[in-house]
Chains A and B, each alone.
Chain A
């Protein structure tokens, strides 16, 4: 396992959507400054797992969660937890680039403003820093006041990453962040993720196995709600221990 210190631990996590047992006894560690990839066939619970990490699943009415998720050793499902703070610490980027229909600047400043930063020059600073962090500054610095919807798909996705960075998270969750993008934009985002892991702990769901091999330090393979195998990426993709993993990654499994 490509380890470091543990950032997030899930212990015996079970999740039910009504009667649908969507996550089955998932125990995993995410490591600081590593990229962890989640792969698996459609509907196997990858997104669900990702969402349990910043409690976005709270919004689903029928959901029931058992087990614990520790962030820096604090249980995020403790009733005392302020989900606002939690989500500030654990940012999320989605499959479809989803910038708000506002200017580029306002998109990035959205988070900081929510968290009470009003000062103009401070905001300017954050916006610039975040856009640079998302490798987008050079492309948009001269049109910060233009609508974010005018950006290309790849730029929009990087904007969403910048927006997540602006609240200074510690963990970045990404649910298939490049599946809506063309190959060139995808490569750009992959390069970016590699840079991001210097500062953040990154978890990414991807359908593109090559992508997992390219960027992830560790990879977990999910199958109908279970973690079949969790190993350093190279190991998982070269010498998987489980037959099902091998079948899946070699495309022999549907």
Chain B
């Protein structure tokens, strides 16, 4: 197998395994664990197998093209540093799988757990062996996501949900920051390829964008590694199942941050900003984490704060910018992973066996589980930095670096003291852990009777503790060469000389170690009694909970703040929206004039016709009147609206547009009837409220709207005037005028445009009409009137009562008398209008008219019948099937359009010519006429459908109220 393949397999296998595991049945514990373990083991073997190539070539690479033009390829690149991490990830992953098999309860949906775990492993491997920064971000975010799922595994538990949410929010935020930082790096370097980036350190550090890059990348790293001030998510994440903590919060997830810092160390480190930001965060995390750890009652809480502290130590080491510091940091990454993973597992065993993790409730467990206790003690000792254990070695290196001078600053001066203080705290919490769990009196009220766990649950701890010991005693033989490979991969030519010996003689670091060990022990002795009964959390800082502050901020910003902002920046009311639309449109239209000036054109008065001016005096009055009266006098406004329409229609005639006048008039009639039909269902509106009583605010709003209306009107006037007084450009109109008859076969150019030149527009237009008619129909199907509209109108009730009160009258006499004579005339008009509609239709192509006006005219004939004799009467006599007419019209238009395909012409190509008919002679025949017939049928159907659907509401209500009345009678 080539190295490339094994690289790809290392990534692909965990994800494939994850998918395979998740489809397993819920109770397939062993199968899931076996599969997961196998995947981890294969990963370990694959990684191990490529070590030789890494030694030979420095790194193995695999390039798969993904988004080459964007500089994002699936590039994998494993050097010594990545190799070390890959080994840790798959190795500890394997151990965690074994451990989890015994830890997880049979009731849990275990396949899901292992699936997430494998996916996480894959993502983590991806982070360490990505050869492209963006790909790294991809895997980085995946680790956040899967850690979210793993932390929230027991999602019935509120603390698991909170912990998961917080972890994802913070690490997700960091990931996005990282993405931004990498984008900037890409911007500077011209590539996202890791090799090129690593080679461009000088360029980046000297550029003005260095600080933003640094801050963004650190945001990613610090959030991931739970560094101050983003540390607080980690303790909350302890709600995760313990195997998750053992894996994510010791060896992998949280290590990603410091991994990244080390990875980019050659690019970003060594500047003043780096030293300050990274150093400060590291020191704070180191000391505060350790301090907080002492006062945790929860074993896992203690370990979580300890993790923060140890990662702070690593960060601090990296901040120094010295190669030796980097070596120490990398070394401590490995050491911390081993002892912390084993400690988490031990904590899990304790929890598993006793049912609690509260150190105030635990004690004396050594008697019940001496083996586990011993292992835990060794691991704790490593954590505390006791000699002959791996923790001691890296801490020693840390002390050595702390006393060296790197930059002349307070931070540098404070480093040795902080180092000793933090280490002493570490000793104190380590001792506390061991002492309060395994020694002292046996508590009486443990939930379960403790005993040693099954062998395979302890086995992973044994291996890890063994590693701690081996590395601690013979570092040169065990970790030495591998560490060297890793360090060389990071530092390259800057790799310093360093020694992994256990004994360096009596040096200051040794003295500091002793001081820390002794100080820590004394500190624990002093605090022992207090710790046995104190509240959770450190004294003085107990109230200062980062996580609570964070949650408050998150809620304030992302919930209350967002809602406030949304209501301020937006609205759910219609009027403001329309107002905004008007304002924006006015600004948009005015802007070009503001920029380029406004030339209104010449003012012509002599051409003005007095009659025309008079016509528009009427029109203007109608329009203003309609605007004035629409609130309280709807009928009046409707009539005035009709007046304005009429004047518009006259204008069309005046300026040579007979077709428009015709259409406008017909539409006008139908619209009036339509709105009248609607008025029936609107509420009564009284004029009781006198305008004088309006509030100042309302009046101001009205003035504002008035100003806007005036602005719009003026604007339209100015623009229209400017265009009308300009010489027209050479338009496409001449083509239509010259070709209408010769090629379109019609003299009415407008109609030829509508059915031929631009028949496609008409095609769409009739579709609109049919859609609207269908919508109206659909809506009215479910129409429910307001309570005050259910009863018949007042007039009808009064007239009915009038009729009923008189012995010589039948109910309904009034209406039948009322309509008796008009109905006769209206009926006789029915055939007349039909003929008229046929006339309008036939002449359309040559003279004003056409399918549309004919359709509306015929629809009017129907409406008239409904008006005269009522819905029932008409529908008893006529088959009114408007939906079918619509369908027919639409299909006919489409078929006529498609008919031209038969002749090899594009859609809607028209045929026009003359057909010789016997007796009649030559008759113009154009396919456009058939198209127009489709239009006619559709318009008729749509208009009738809309009006009739509305009209039907009256009889529906009548029927409904009758049924309701009958129901009431039956009940009574």
Q: Do A and B come from one complex?
A: no
- Interface of B toward A, CB cutoff 8 Å: none
